[in-house]
A and B are shown apart, each in its own frame.
Chain A
Amino acid sequence: MPSTHDRRVVVTGLGATTPVGGTTPETWDAILAGRSGARTMEFDWVAKYELPVHFAATIHTPPSEVLKKVETRRLDPSSQYALIAAREAWQDAGAPEIDPERLGTAIGSGIGGVWTLLDQWDVLREKGPRRVYPLAVPMLMPNGPAAAVSLELHARAGSHTAVSACSSGAESMGLGIEMIRSGRAEVVVAGGTEAAVHPMPIAGFAAMQALSTRNDAPEQASRPYDVDRDGFVLGEGAAVIVLESEEHAKARGARIYAELASVGMSADAHHITAPEPEGSGAARAMTFAVENAGASLGDVVHINAHATSTPVGDVAEYNAIRRAFGDLTDDIAITATKSMTGHLLGAAGSLEAVLTILSLYHRVIPATINLEHQDPEIVLDVVTENRKLPDGDLLALNNSFGFGGHNVALAIRTY
């Protein structure tokens, strides 16, 4: 069999259910309009548990409005979001005809089925073991969303789940590239999902002082690079893309949004949660992604940054970008779409990949909102009004970093 290692991998379908829209087009329109998905949580548990954070970027369109009742009953919300996004992506790709043994899935999640786990723990304590739902385990397992999508599409080339906290979604897309390049699959449905707007993770993130507490102005709370940023805004949802070998996509005349040119990955091995302050690990992920895409650093025109709006994290990523690109940094247009979507944890990288793909496809970079006074320590060209991109071949990066020291950079090229 000839080597498939140099095969180009292209994106032919997009799907997303997010805090700002129930579909990819709705999400993209909201992002271009600068709309925030952060809102006050109207759940009784916010007051009941005296949570210090009263808002989150909750899902725009509840799955109950989209899925069958039996699906919402038998799937954890993390799998529900993934299924909604995967169905959209698959239809958007034109539901390609493909031998099931050449079709794979890779859907990441940072936390997995936390709602199911904790609901069923309550059932056990209150009603006993016989009342625990027989599907509790497959619902709570982090590979549940990948399995649900695999079942839905009869994908048999392999079903995978990257679990690397907030880089899970991007890492899963990287797995998708490698599945196609290794020759194991021709088409891969890849992305990330997260449904962790639940009091326990909120309390946990709040305890580590990672969350913004701007309770009186949720829409202004996620403010990457701003001097007054005070933490991230928890978000939820899923984003999924259809990846395809270039030959396969061209042979069937598919619309190609962009090329997912490569993935760069590294580990900090520095601290369980804090990023390595000099950013050397993150920089290596970025430079590897660029070089592995057959490009040079000067080709990168845009980065959709991880930029969660935490005081430490945004500076560390800046240092990493400066370390990787040196003076070329000043020529790169940076945006932080978490300013609108909040931080979708294991779905963050996949959503931002979708937004980067659309930025290249439509040749417009969406603005970062809430940036009033840029942190003087962060010397970046941050886009604050939607900015047109020029014609020609362009390369962009999408950064994702996760607790545990995971660094993932996706390189995306116009097609």
Chain B
Amino acid sequence: MAQSEQEILEGLAEIVNEETGLDTDQVELDKSFTDDLDIDSLSMMTIVVNAEEKFGVKIPDDEVKNLKTVRDAVSFISNGLG
């Protein structure tokens, strides 16, 4: 079943919250993972792996560096879901 970008954003925000303790409403599309949300590379890997499991997509390791903003991640997951 296709998920809307809004649903992906909400799911991603829950993952970020669980790993970092950030409030889900801070996880907005234009936020940078590193600069705005202060998420380090270790946490980012956990978020990616958990997102793969949650959304049933594959996010290759060399793609992770391109996911600079929350919007990048949502788009990637959305495209992956076709």
Contacts and interface: CB of A to CB of B under 8 A. Distances in A.
B82 interface: no
B45 A134 contact: yes
A252 interface: no
B38 to A, nearest CB: 12
Contact of B46 (A69, A71, A133): A133
Given A130-B49, A131-B49, A69 B42 contact: no
B20 interface: yes
Nearest to A70: B21
B30 interface: no
Contact of B19 (A68, A73, A130, A131): A73
Contacts of B21: 68-71
B63 to A, nearest CB: 14
Interface residues of B, number: 9
Interface string B1-36: 000000000000000001111000000000000000
A74 B40 CA distance: 13
A70 B49 contact: no
Contacts of A68: 21
Interface of A: 68-71, 73-74, 130-131, 133-135
A123 to B, nearest CB: 11
A73 to B, nearest CB: 7
The B interface, classified by DSSP as helix, strand, loop or mixed, is: helix
B53 to A, nearest CB: 8
A73 B18 contact: yes
A134 B18 contact: no
B2 to A, nearest CB: 25
A134 B49 CA distance: 10
A71 B46 CA distance: 15
A34 to B, nearest CB: 40
Given A69-B21, A74-B19, A133-B46, 17 more contacts: A68-B21, A69-B18, A70-B18, A70-B19, A70-B20, A70-B21, A71-B21, A73-B18, A73-B19, A130-B49, A131-B49, A134-B42, A134-B43, A134-B45, A134-B46, A135-B42, A135-B46
7 contacts: A69-B18, A71-B21, A73-B18, A131-B49, A133-B46, A134-B43, A134-B45
Contacts, number: 20
Contacts of B19: 70, 73-74
B60 to A, nearest CB: 11
B27 to A, nearest CB: 14
Contacts of B45: 134
A131 B43 CA distance: 13
Contacts of A135: 42, 46
10 shortest interchain CB distances as A-B pairs: A70-B21, A134-B42, A134-B45, A134-B46, A68-B21, A135-B42, A70-B20, A130-B49, A131-B49, A69-B21
Nearest to A69: B21
A134 B18 CA distance: 15
Interface string B50-79: 000000000000000000000000000000
A33 B32 CA distance: 55
A130 B49 CA distance: 7
A135 B18 CA distance: 14
B20 to A, nearest CB: 6
Contacts of A133: 46
A75 to B, nearest CB: 12
A265 B43 CA distance: 41
Contacts of A131: 49
A69 B17 CA distance: 9
A13 B49 CA distance: 42
A131 B46 CA distance: 8
A68 B19 CA distance: 11
Contacts of A130: 49
Contacts of B18: 69-70, 73
Nearest to B41: A134
A133 B49 CA distance: 9
Nearest to A132: B49
Contacts of A69: 18, 21
